[in-house]
Amino acid sequence: MRMPDLATPLIAWFRHNARDLPWRAPDFGAWGVLVSEFMLQQTPVTRVVPRLEEWLTRWPTPAALATEPPAEAVRQWANLGYPRRALWLHRAAVEIAERHGGVVPRDVDALLALTGIGDYTARAVAVFAYGDRHPVVDTNTRRVIARAVGGCAQPNPPSPRDLVAMSTLLPDGDDDAAVVNAAAMELGALVCTARAPRCESCPIADRCAWRAAGYPDTGDTRRRQARYEGSDRQARGAVMKVLRDAAPEPVAAMTAIPDWPDPRQRDRAIDSLIADGLIEASDGLLHLPR
DNA sequence: TAATCGTGGCC
DNA sequence: TGGCCAAGATT
């Protein structure tokens, strides 16, 4: 099966339809891109934008963040969710200060060696901050490729094959690689969405394998998210909120979420947060990590 | 490989 | 209203 040229229409579409997002400013910098990618891991764009501005105003460089205790990163993270990302971003900043002279590395393997950076984030930084040619594959891109190339309604679970598939869509030179990567993501976010895709305004509809096949329901391998209400995650989130709001003052362990319906679950949440390094305990008091 | 990990908006 | 979804990484 020959691969249709998707890059050309994607580039043209992106030039006219890309959202004006802060990290797309030409002088935004590698640190800003790195912070934005951490925040964007599973958190919607609209919630990230204001927090990102605050973060970069307070810590304009990795070294600035590295001089602060992790507690400040966790507190500044606020309600973005998955607070371990704040901890990992702080660790990454320390590693960048110590191992890379305070400069966000450009090499993908060096980026992958940083705490909290995986296949997606490493390549996103190398491509969007430095303009190098690598495949950048997020959940949007996987869905676009699954439909346009694979003819399936939904992507398979993430796999190294995704990187190969995206590579074949990139133009040869470095110049447009970043645009095509960003365009595939943007198309998935705005047009080729998970629910109710807007195929009537899709720039590659005329070469979409899923459309050509008549939009078959190819099944759905996704697993349902666990219920949040009443979960350990909810208990952990409640504990973290109490400690964030109290910081820098510590909180007595017995009074953290005192009215939680299940005391055993509350204790389990506290223990797991300590194990994760998100909180610390001393003399029966809980506080954010110093 | 599969489970785990927050939070909030949307339909 | 409750399930689905959101620029993933780690273990």
Least confident of A18-32, A100-114, A209-223: A209-223
- What pLDDT is stored for residue A174 in this prediction? 83
Taking the CA of residue A113 and the C1' sugar atom of nucleotide C6, their distance in angstroms comes to 26
For residue A251, the cross-strand partners are A286
Instruction: Write out the two tokens for A186.
Output: 């943007």
Q: Where are the alpha helices (DSSP H) in A81-176?
A: 84-99, 108-112, 119-124, 139-148, 161-169
- What pLDDT is stored for residue A3 in this prediction? 66
What rounded mean pLDDT belongs to chain A?
Answer: 96
- Using the CB atom, is residue A95 less than 7 Å from strand C? no
Q: In whole angstroms, give the CA distance from residue A214 to residue A231.
A: 40
Same structural domain for residues A256 and A171? no
Q: In whole angstroms, give the CA distance from residue A176 to residue A11.
A: 8
Same structural domain for residues A136 and A271? no
Same structural domain for residues A188 and A281? no
C-alpha closest to that of A169 among A5, A18, A14, A1: A5
Q: Which domain holds residue A266?
A: 232-287
Tell me the per-residue pLDDT of A19-68, one tens digit each, with 9 for 90 and over. 999 999 999 999 999 999 999 999 999 999 999 999 999 999 999 999 99
CATH number, residue A252:
1.10.10
- What pLDDT is stored for residue A275 in this prediction? 97
Taking the CA of residue A206 and the C1' sugar atom of nucleotide B4, their distance in angstroms comes to 40
CATH number, residue A169:
1.10.340.30
Same structural domain for residues A180 and A265? no
Q: Which of residues 17-36 of A touch strand C (CB under 7 A)?
A: 21, 23-24, 36
Tell me the per-residue pLDDT of A138-188, one tens digit each, with 9 for 90 and over. 999 999 999 999 999 999 999 999 999 999 999 998 879 999 999 999 999
Report the share of chain A in percent with pLDDT over 70.
99
Nearest residue (CA) to C1' of C11: A276
Residue A37 catalytic?
A: yes
Same structural domain for residues A236 and A100? no
User: Residue A1 pLDDT > 90, yes or no?
Assistant: no
Nearest residue (CA) to C1' of B6: A81
- What pLDDT is stored for residue A121 in this prediction? 98
Same structural domain for residues A28 and A130? yes
Of A170, A196, A223, the residue at which a domain comes to its end is A223
Same structural domain for residues A196 and A281? no
Tell me the per-residue pLDDT of A82-101, one tens digit each, with 9 for 90 and over. 999 999 999 999 999 999 99
Structural domains of chain A, count: 2
Q: How confident is the model at residue A221 (pLDDT cuts 50, 70, 90)?
A: confident
- Using the CB atom, is residue A234 less than 7 Å from strand B? yes
